[in-house]
Structure 1
Amino acid sequence: MFSLTDKAALVSGAAGGIGKAIAERFIAAGARVVITDVADAREAASAMGAGYLPVDVSDEDSVAEGFREAASLLGQLDIVVNNAGIGDVGTTIEKTEGEILERITRINQWGVFHGLKHAPAHISDGGSIINTSSLAALVKMAGSGAYSASKAAVISMTRMAAIELGSREIRVNAVCPGYIDTALGSGDEGRRLSEFFTALGRMGTTEDLVGVYHFLAADESRYLTGQAIAVDGGWSCGPTTRILETVLGSDSVS
């Protein structure tokens, strides 16, 4: 069940963090994988048994060439994960400089658009495209306006691509992670926020997250498309008991 044997995958933004964990999970499930990143990921790729291509997702020509080379190296593409992205700088919309907005948009929004534009020429019919969005697309937090907008756009593009590629039985879905503990880090801030705002009371790990990507990549998800799946410990459900007790008192929930 959920075997990826004989499947070939491209995972962007996989030099570390979530992307690296996704690639490792796919390889463990039997897939052949090429990872891409703007950073040098040759060492990481070699360690996990993947190929590596340098790609800047904000540059359409770089993305197009990356797809051509990956398809040539692997002989086919069955799974594409548009994962590359950057975080926000923690400023309000009023104080967000234009160059910050443009950089976040070019990488997080345009990067996924470029992936969705060039994947269809190389991915097999019946394949799976998975885009990394964010909890921030679903639940808003002050100081993340540019990031939140870019990740909300990912969900919109996911649904449009699902409609447009459905005739080839290519599935297109988005994953919306909450705070995930990686070496690239959400750090102590993410941990404290997760303890307070998630139903499960903790920050997620890559192991908590990558199973969803694995399922979406596998044939068992063949009737699931156009969806945005939150993997956030229940943050998007609403106020937790801890919030109510803090605001209203310890006897407010019994």
Structure 2
Amino acid sequence: MFFDLSGKRAFITGGASGIGLAVARRFAEAGARVVIADMQDGQAVATELGGTFVHLDVSDSAAVLSALAQNCEQEGKLDILINNAGINGADGVTIEDSDEALTRKLLEINTLGVYHGLKHGPAHIRDGGAIINTASLGATLMFPGSGPYSATKAAVINLTQMSALELAPRKIRVNAVAPSFIRTPLAQDDIELFEKMSYNATAAQRIAEPEEVAAVFHFLASDDASYMNGQVINVDGGMSLGFTNVQLDMISQELTSGG
């Protein structure tokens, strides 16, 4: 079976909903034993998947270390670590007008949350294991009005690439997945905007589902991806490629109408 995860143990932060939950479900279906770590209660779904739930605030370094150490003491070392927990920023707000408290929270969860996983995780992962971080297309494709959020995810890419080099002697691969607009609970407040942007700005002409992103995590976590290291994979429906036909038609229509 391709991408078989039988017998592997995976620790997934932010695993109680959205992309993290889709990853947990897919990993469990592929044979992995999953640990769901989240601030949100994930006990029911962890039980459903035959896994374990850990209440965890990834912005707390000591808590991350304790959760990893306790879990591995009980179950043994991990094969896969998914640093996925994150929050959204305030879309449409310039850096000049951004809220400092929210920016600090974004840094603490989106960036330091991944940093804590990379700092404490390797000691609890078997040689030859895999670490996958959740970045964002917004880290490399600029969306005016999302500066603080984009900055936190750009840092995730840098941490991913540096860790890939530093952990290479142990054959631990470190990669990142960079989604664009995904239909998740975090996106619910802006779902109409995200759906419209996805239609206009992606070759796929639609928003993505969490399961489509989870498929990329699955590949990267498997031994089939043994030569993938330090990479950032965009899951964006082609948004990063450039102008779509829809966008060109809109511009053409505007020019024709004298706009």
TM-score by length of 2: 0.94
Q: Identify which of 184, 198, 202 aligns with 2:202.
A: 198
Residue in 1 that maps onto 2:236? 232
CA distance in 2, matches of 1:121, 1:75: 12
* TM-fit CA distance, 1:184: 4.0
Cα distance in 1 between the residues matched to 2:186 and 2:74: 28
State the AA in 1 paired with 2:182: I
Q: Deviations over 1:189-224 (max 9, x none)?
A: 111110010011000012211111000000010111
- The 8 Å contact of residues 196 and 243 in structure 1, kept in 2 or not, is answered as yes
Provide the secondary structure at the position in 2 that maps to 1:181: coil
Please list, as runs of the form range in 1=range in 2, the aligned pairs for 1:107-122 lying within 5 A after superposition. 107-122=109-124
Which is further off, 177-186 or 72-81? 177-186
**Offset, 1:250:** 8.5
AA aligned opposite 2:136: S
Aligned to 2:221: 217
AA at the equivalent of 2:11: L
Tell me the matched-pair count.
Answer: 252
Paired position in structure 2 for 1:9: 10
The answer to whether the Cα contact below 8 Å between 1:84 and 1:108 also exists between their aligned partners in 2 is yes
**What is the deviation of 1:74?**
2.5
Match of 2:220, SS?
Answer: helix
Unaligned runs of 5+ residues in structure 2 are none
| Equivalent position SS for 1:87 | coil
Structure 2 distance, partners of 1:23, 1:170, is: 20
Q: Residue type of the partner of 1:212?
A: V
Match of 1:95 in 2: 97
Is 2:130 aligned against 1:132?
no
Per the normalisation by structure 1, the TM-score is 0.96
Partners of 2:247 and 2:73 in 1: CA distance:
52
Percent identical across equivalent pairs?
45
Distance 1:229 1:247 in 2: 30
Report the alpha carbon displacement of residue 251 of structure 1 after superposing the two structures with TM: 10
Which residue of the partner structure matches residue 42 of structure 1?
43
Deviation sequence 1:6-45 (CA, Å, 0-9, x none): 1100000011111011011000000011010012221221
Whole-angstrom distance in 1 between the partners of 2:239 and 2:7: 36
Given residue 30 of structure 2, which amino acid in structure 1 is its aligned partner?
A
Counterpart of 1:77? 78
Report the 3-state secondary structure (helix = DSSP H, G, I; strand = E; otherwise coil) of the residue aligned with 2:129: strand
Is 1:175 the equivalent of 2:162?
no
Query: Deviation at 1:229?
Result: 0.3
Contact 1:36–1:52 under 8 Å retained in 2: yes
Which secondary structure state, in structure 2, belongs to the residue aligned with residue 64 of structure 1? helix
Looking at structure 1, the residues matched to 102 and 185 of structure 2 have their Cα atoms a distance apart, in angstroms, of: 24
State the Cα distance separating 1:183 from its structure 2 match.
3.9
**Do structure 1's residue 158 and structure 2's residue 160 form an aligned pair?**
yes
70-79 vs 60-69, which deviates more? 70-79
Aligned to 2:68: 67
CA distance in 2, matches of 1:17, 1:172: 22
Cα distance in 1 between the residues matched to 2:36 and 2:201: 33
CA deviations 1:125-184 (Å, max 9, x no partner) are 000000000111121111100000000100000000000000011000000011111244
Check whether the contact 2:12–2:83 (CA below 8 A) recurs between aligned residues: yes
- Structure 2: distance between partners of 1:58 and 1:231: 26
Rounded Cα–Cα distance in structure 2 between residues aligned with 1:201 and 1:47:
34
CA distance in 2, matches of 1:230, 1:35: 24
Contact 1:245 1:251 in 2 (8 A): no
Unaligned stretches of 5+ in structure 1?
Answer: none
